[in-house]
Amino acid sequence: MVLRKIRVEQVTSRGGFELFARLPYEVYADREAWWPPDVQNEIDLLAGRALITAHLDLCPFVVWSDGRPVARASVVVNHRYNEHWNEKVGQIIHFEALDGEEEAVAALLEESLTWLTRRGMKAARSGFAAFLDYPYAIDNYAALPSFLLRGNPDYYHRYFKNARFATEKGQVDYTAPLTADIQDRYRQMAAAARAAGVTISSWRDYGFLAAIDVWTDVTNAAFARHWGWNPISRPEVRPMLLPLGATLVADLSMIAVADGRPVGAVFSVPDLSGALARLRTGVKLAPERGGGTRGALINIGVLEEVRSRGIARAMAAESFLGMAKNFMTYAGYTLVLDDNWSSRRTAESLGARVTGNFVSYFRTL
Ligand SMILES: CC(C)(COP(=O)(O)OP(=O)(O)OC[C@H]1O[C@@H](n2cnc3c(N)ncnc32)[C@H](O)[C@@H]1OP(=O)(O)O)[C@@H](O)C(=O)NCCC(=O)NCCS
């Protein structure tokens, strides 16, 4: 067996951040369609220039095999997460790796776990961190995943399992065909909410800046007990969402008001595959995957005291009707925990079916 020269490097330089951020171009080089990383955004995070880093101890690693970078990961102590849940869980985010690099990846994960142990963490999670990391796909390996979601290769699962990680949580991604019949049902759901005294407005009609703050407040309240979540502040969210005010996000995202106060929020995006996905020349996406025809509901929350009144359904229905009005024929309902039945029931009541499956990994230290 040829012994490779393995070296795990802690990345600290501008050049190193660039190489780190661009490694996915190697991993996904053969893909017909994939979502390339926002390199500058990632470099700002690694360099500590992103607002969210005020709450993080973050350390990026790259592992070299015979002088070639073959895998990467950032290890994170997310203080806000651990304070919120009173836990000592470290996070491994940005994991990407080439195939056939068992030795190098084992060294990378070992170094990562040692770094977390030295900082008092009792366990490590990979594949879910609010605003930082998304779960690992367990199907559709060659297809373009929903916006924001991973389209990782299958061999990632062997890398994590061989590093003694276990599956912690499963998640599903849904897709609804926006047929005429289903749209009629959406109009009825919206009418039922109006009849119950609930007003649902797009972020544009509500006032985009005010809507962003309502989204932050409602989401923090609605997700306070949602596994894996941690609160986020208005000053962090505003610069992330404000630039979207001039896009269809303002028309597809919704706010629900009942008894004069905001009680629900939805953040939705139009089909971004044309603008952001990387397609090999001549490749045409299936309409239920993208190509201008698939919008996506990214996040939905309703305050506990007004749940089970059809507010989530009505907000999502209005969002999906907005997608249909803008020539989209499919709507994604993105990333729901396997055991989050109220949200899964919401997706199913909107005529959506499971079209993607994901897992998050966990191990004790
Ligand atoms: C998921 C959530 C948005 C649903 O909001 P809601 O306004 O209560 O939902 P609706 O009243 O529109 O009900 C939608 C469906 O969920 C079902 N539902 C509502 N609460 C439920 C519960 N606690 N358990 C099981 N099903 C429930 C309803 O029966 C309905 O299903 P049906 O159409 O088959 O009858 C809300 O529970 C929430 O904010 N949860 C916390 C944040 C979260 O998990 N968001 C989704 C992340 S993917």
* Cβ of 346 less than 6 Å from ligand 1: yes
Whole-angstrom distance, CA of residue 214 vs CA of residue 217: 5
Burial 296-309 (b: 16+ CB within 10 A, else e): bbbebbbbeebeeb
Q: How far is CA 241 from CA 44, 254, 364, in A?
A: 17, 14, 35
Ligand 1 centre distance from Cα of residue 125 (Å): 27
Q: What is the pLDDT of residues 5-27, one digit of tens each?
A: 999 999 999 999 999 999 999 99
Task: Please choose, from the candidates 143, 218, 193, the residue with its C-alpha nearest in 3D space to the C-alpha of residue 173.
Answer: 143
Domain coordinates in residue numbering, the chain = 6-133, 174-357
* Cβ of 7 less than 6 Å from ligand 1: no
Atom of ligand 1 nearest to the CA of 301: 39
245 has a pLDDT exceeding 70: yes
At residue 2, the pLDDT reads 65
Query: Whole-model pTM?
Result: 0.96
42 has a pLDDT exceeding 90: yes
Q: Residue 154 — very low, low, confident or very high, per pLDDT cuts 50/70/90?
A: very high
Amino acid at 353: R
Query: Which residue has a Cα nearest atom 48 of ligand 1?
Result: 336
Given this chain, do its domains 6-133 and 174-357 carry the same CATH topology?
A: yes
Query: Which residue has a Cα nearest atom 25 of ligand 1?
Result: 342
Amino acid at 87: E
Q: What is the pLDDT of residues 160-194, one digit of tens each?
A: 999 999 999 999 999 999 999 999 999 999 999 99
Burial 180-216 (b: 16+ CB within 10 A, else e): eebbeebeebbeebeeeebebbbbbebebeebbebbb
Atom of ligand 1 nearest to the CA of 340: 44
Mean pLDDT, residues 137-165 taken together: 97
Contact at 8 Å (CB) between 146 and 331? no
Percentage of residues of the chain with pLDDT beyond 90 = 99
Mean pLDDT, residues 150-158 taken together: 98
- Mean of all residue pLDDT scores within the chain: 97
Q: What is the pLDDT of residues 315-364, one digit of tens each?
A: 999 999 999 999 999 999 999 999 999 999 999 999 999 999 999 999 99
What number does CATH give the domain 6-133?
Answer: 3.40.630.30
Q: How many CA atoms lie within 13 A of 134 on its CB side?
A: 19
Q: Residue 3 — very low, low, confident or very high, per pLDDT cuts 50/70/90?
A: confident
* Cβ of 33 less than 6 Å from ligand 1: no
At residue 246, the pLDDT reads 96
Pick the CATH number of 174-357 from 3.40.50.12370, 3.40.47.10, 3.30.1280.10, 3.40.630.30: 3.40.630.30
